[in-house]
Structure 1
Amino acid sequence: MIVVVLTIVNGLLAMSELAVVSARPARLRTMADHGNKGAAIAIRLAEDPGKFLSSVQIGITLVGILSGAFSGATLGLRLTGWLQSVGVANNVADVLGVGVVVVLITYTSLILGELVPKQIALRDAEGVAARVAPAMKLLASVGSPIVWLLDVSGKAVLALLGQSGESEETVTEEEVKTIIAEATTAGVIESDEHSMISGVMRLADRSARGLMTPRLDVELIDLSDDLDEIRKTIVTTHRSRLLVQDGDSDSIIGVVAITDLISVFANGQPLEIRKFVQPVPVVMDHADALDVVRAIRNSTVHMALVVDEYGHFEGIVTSGDILEVITGVFQEETGDDPALVRREDGSFLVAGWMPVDEFSDKLGIAIQRDAKFETVAGYVLSIINRLPAEGETFVHGDWKFEVVDLDGRRIDKVLMTRIE
């Protein structure tokens, strides 16, 4: 009975050690905020792992010594005596008596003293840690002199091994993505929710240039055009707001709401666009996406003008552009081509405007985090370092690229085939 009790105590110590070490601090803090005193104690134990581990190791070592002493001095001798009484030779009885007891004690210790307790700790690390923390704190207080000696000795050995620095409790972006993927696989998070969470993380990594609609694709009103041309632009556009340009391509004076102009047409009033122009915030092309979001949120026009360091107009970012990063690209017109299409032969037809981070996620192609391009077209140009000809092919890594369509000097479509 003494050996069984010692084995169970060993199991409790092993379970406590693994639970406190593997418990996630964030969940323990949440439990502590809800009044769980054990969770608060577990946090303090985890913050000083040297003393905590020393306390547990003292207990495990003492239990092991006592268990070995009792099993050898009592069970082994009794079994040896019984074997001798039934006619087994003395030398054989000695070996069998000790050997059988050692095997049985080892088996029991592995099951009750290690494997089962640790499995329990792994299944609910935070709950177990909160329950055992008060007892572990008491154990550390009782053995504090020995714990102090062991802690100092352990730190001295670590210093000799060049490990004297504190461990960094950091969570990387890759770990967060892995946790989200595991939650999706387990059914905790829906696949659409997973896509949106990934989109939020992509948004934080982008710059204004990676969010913007480039200048060539921006519809605007040029005040230098004649009145009929301006009317035609206003009537045919499907945008709710248009930039207003005063002659020069970099002279953007603001933005105008189409609803304001339509009311002018309806009332038969003369068209004076300057009266309806509203100021638009300006951001640098290398500004962080979150800075762009702030600028748009503080503006009534729900867009921002993107300029480079020389003040040249580069494009615009709207609230819709930001939403598309999170939810995916919206279909604006019937027949709009998607960013990426998988064909029957296994190849991929990729739009040149597709953001390179989404491209990397979908095809598993590694892209440097400090890359100087934002789109698939920029990725292709960075590989060949020149403007390709239409129909030109090249091989990079595990993929064969073919530029199937150019729009002027812009790469419009790229066909990608994986090389077996």
Structure 2
Amino acid sequence: MSFFDNAVIILFLIGTSCFFSMSEIALAASRKIRLRQMASDGDLRAEKVLMLQANPGNFFTVVQIGLNAVAIMGGIVGESAFTPYIHSFLAPWLSEPWLGKVSFFLSFVLVTSLFILMADLMPKRVAMAIPEKVALILVGPLLVSITVFKPLVWFFNSLASMLFRLLQIQTSRNDEVTSDDIYAVMDAGAEAGVLDKDEQLMMEKVFEMQTIPVTAAMTARESLSYFLLQDSEEEIKRKISEDPHSNFLVCDGQLDVIKGFVNAKKLLICVINGQSISLKNNELVESCFIIPDTLSLSESMEYFKNSRADFAVVINEYSLVVGIVTSKDLQDAVMGAWSLPESEEQIIARDDNSWLMDGVTPITDVMRALDIEDFPQDHNYETIAGFMMYMLRKIPKCTDSVTHSGFKFEVVDVDAYKVDQLLVTRLNAHPVTDISLIPEPQA
């Protein structure tokens, strides 16, 4: 054959190898989510790609048959195509036996370089860049190749499956989407600028609603403002003026004996109409929705939705009131900083390396703000104040501190045994978790 005939055969083999290389990478790298969207839009080619991904044995077998057959043919044809011409070109400068060896070596290098560059490297980079588009274009010819080589595909695929069973190797791929996969997609979206940082934070909180307890969003017992049935009208007005709210819990003698709640608007109407205020009036006090403290935020929202309530009392296993929660509290827990004025934010950055935190800040928010993967034994507490108490093994006092994951957590304000505020500082080193107590002054 002439040089032209050999060159045409080499180019054909390179094109064939390019087809199989692009098919291999494109079908492996194509994202199922995007392919399902295309299939739902009526693209039949996307359905075929999904079918091949679901049963990759036939696909990989025909690709390997094609690549290996083309590589062998390329070596045979390439050696005979280029060696004589290189031999003639080098004849004036070299003599045998080096002339034949060098000619063969250069022919081998030339053919190998062409296959590496044009049949392997460039096609695979293109397929990695736009895998779905390439897969849709090549899926038709690939299915034809599978049909043509069906006997060989069946033989090699059956042999491989038998060997996998003997070696007890799992070959089926688990395509279940986990929460970690979703978080990774959101992180990638935020890095690409598709998602705003606050949008990413809100979406992460939505997925965490199943694990965050309702106690993380409630108003705690010690912060409650409530009425007693025995309160006089002057006492009721004083409590409203000192701590105004839309709804007030109504109790009988003590907080744990709940009678219901009263809406501040009804009290205002009584005042406007000149009527006396008495909490023993059944028309003022409404029945109260009660939920256990073991519920998650998601379950609490479901309770609110089904009962059409927006105010509930949270009680523990001993039937003691641990706090109250409203639909706005649940909304704030999901929306985060979007729904809170700056004065009510629980985490305030002083600079790049220090933060002021409320003691009631949920530990999940602290992990997210400081990029800390975990806290020790975090099932034992829900807030950063609980973390301090757990680590110190005592009621925290001002200047008590704990070091964890390269951060120093220092108590700066305590109100009646309650950790009100902490100062968190990033340290230069990243030591292991330990307890660092500043000695208290001697009496």
Provide, for residues 319-342 of structure 1, a one-character-per-residue CA deviation record: whole Å limited to 9, x for no partner. 22122223325557xx94642233
Say whether the 8 Å CA contact 2:249–2:262 is kept in structure 1. Answer: yes
2:76 partner letter: A
2:251 & 2:317 partners in 1: Cα distance?
A: 20
What residue is the counterpart of 1:125 in the other structure? 131
Among 203, 212, 220, the residue aligned to 1:197: 203
Among 378, 381, 384, the residue aligned to 1:376: 384
Please state if 1:213 is matched with 2:224. no
Please state if 1:398 is matched with 2:406. yes
What residue is the counterpart of 2:371 in the other structure? 364
1:418 & 1:370 partners in 2: Cα distance?
A: 21
Say whether the 8 Å CA contact 2:354–2:424 is kept in structure 1. Answer: yes
Q: How does 1:296-311 map to 2 (within 5 A)?
A: 296-311=304-319
2:42 partner letter: G
What residue is the counterpart of 2:439 in the other structure? none
Deviates more, 1:238-247 or 1:73-82: 73-82
Please state if 1:223 is matched with 2:223. no
1:410 & 1:82 partners in 2: Cα distance?
A: 91
2:197 partner letter: S
- Alignment length, in residue pairs? 417
2:27 & 2:63 partners in 1: Cα distance?
A: 11
Deviates more, 1:41-50 or 1:295-304: 295-304
2:47 is paired with a residue whose SS is: helix
Say whether the 8 Å CA contact 1:155–1:164 is kept in structure 2. Answer: no
Please state if 1:414 is matched with 2:419. no
Structure 1, unpaired ranges of 5+: none
Provide, for residues 197-219 of structure 1, a one-character-per-residue CA deviation record: whole Å limited to 9, x for no partner. 23323334311122222122222
Say whether the 8 Å CA contact 2:79–2:104 is kept in structure 1. Answer: yes
1:217 & 1:251 partners in 2: Cα distance?
A: 17
1:389 & 1:306 partners in 2: Cα distance?
A: 28
What residue is the counterpart of 1:67 in the other structure? 74
Q: How does 1:62-211 map to 2 (within 5 A)?
A: 62-84=69-91, 86=92, 88-164=94-170, 166-211=172-217
Among 53, 57, 66, the residue aligned to 2:64: 57
Among 297, 314, 325, the residue aligned to 1:317: 325
1:2 partner letter: I
1:278 & 1:165 partners in 2: Cα distance?
A: 61
1:391 & 1:40 partners in 2: Cα distance?
A: 63
Say whether the 8 Å CA contact 1:210–1:375 is kept in structure 2. Answer: yes
Q: CA deviation at 1:293?
A: 0.8
Change (3 A) 1:412 1:237: closer
1:254 & 1:143 partners in 2: Cα distance?
A: 77
Q: CA deviation at 1:394?
A: 4.0
Provide, for residues 211-255 of structure 1, a one-character-per-residue CA deviation record: whole Å limited to 9, x for no partner. 222122222222122222123223444322222222232222323
2:132 partner letter: E
Change (3 A) 1:331 1:397: closer
1:227 & 1:373 partners in 2: Cα distance?
A: 40
Structure 2, unpaired ranges of 5+: 1-7, 429-443
Provide, for residues 53-102 of structure 1, a one-character-per-residue CA deviation record: whole Å limited to 9, x for no partner. 11111111111111111101222234324544x46313222122222222
- TM superposition score normalised by structure 1: 0.91
What residue is the counterpart of 1:27 in the other structure? 34
Among 239, 261, 264, the residue aligned to 2:267: 261
Please state if 1:386 is matched with 2:391. no
Please state if 1:352 is matched with 2:359. yes
What residue is the counterpart of 2:432 in the other structure? none
Say whether the 8 Å CA contact 2:209–2:296 is kept in structure 1. Answer: no
Q: CA deviation at 1:305?
A: 2.2
Q: CA deviation at 1:133?
A: 1.5
2:145 partner letter: L
1:244 is paired with a residue whose SS is: strand
1:297 partner letter: K
Say whether the 8 Å CA contact 1:280–1:299 is kept in structure 2. Answer: no
Change (3 A) 1:278 1:115: farther
Please state if 1:240 is matched with 2:246. yes
- TM superposition score normalised by structure 2: 0.87
Q: Which has the higher contact order (CA 8 A, sep 6+)?
A: 1
Say whether the 8 Å CA contact 1:38–1:132 is kept in structure 2. Answer: no
What residue is the counterpart of 2:15 in the other structure? 8
Change (3 A) 1:134 1:325: same
Change (3 A) 1:14 1:280: farther
Q: CA deviation at 1:418?
A: 2.9
2:146 & 2:285 partners in 1: Cα distance?
A: 72
1:289 partner letter: L
1:371 & 1:65 partners in 2: Cα distance?
A: 61
Deviates more, 1:312-321 or 1:54-63: 312-321
1:197 partner letter: M
What residue is the counterpart of 1:286 in the other structure? 294
Change (3 A) 1:125 1:304: farther
Say whether the 8 Å CA contact 1:219–1:243 is kept in structure 2. Answer: yes
Q: CA deviation at 1:34?
A: 0.8
Provide, for residues 289-326 of structure 1, a one-character-per-residue CA deviation record: whole Å limited to 9, x for no partner. 21111112233431332221222211122222122223
1:342 partner letter: A
Q: CA deviation at 1:33?
A: 0.9
Q: CA deviation at 1:156?
A: 3.0
2:379 is paired with a residue whose SS is: coil
2:378 & 2:18 partners in 1: Cα distance?
A: 50
Among 34, 37, 51, the residue aligned to 1:44: 51
Say whether the 8 Å CA contact 1:208–1:283 is kept in structure 2. Answer: no
Provide, for residues 240-292 of structure 1, a one-character-per-residue CA deviation record: whole Å limited to 9, x for no partner. 22222222322223232211221121112232443133333322212122111
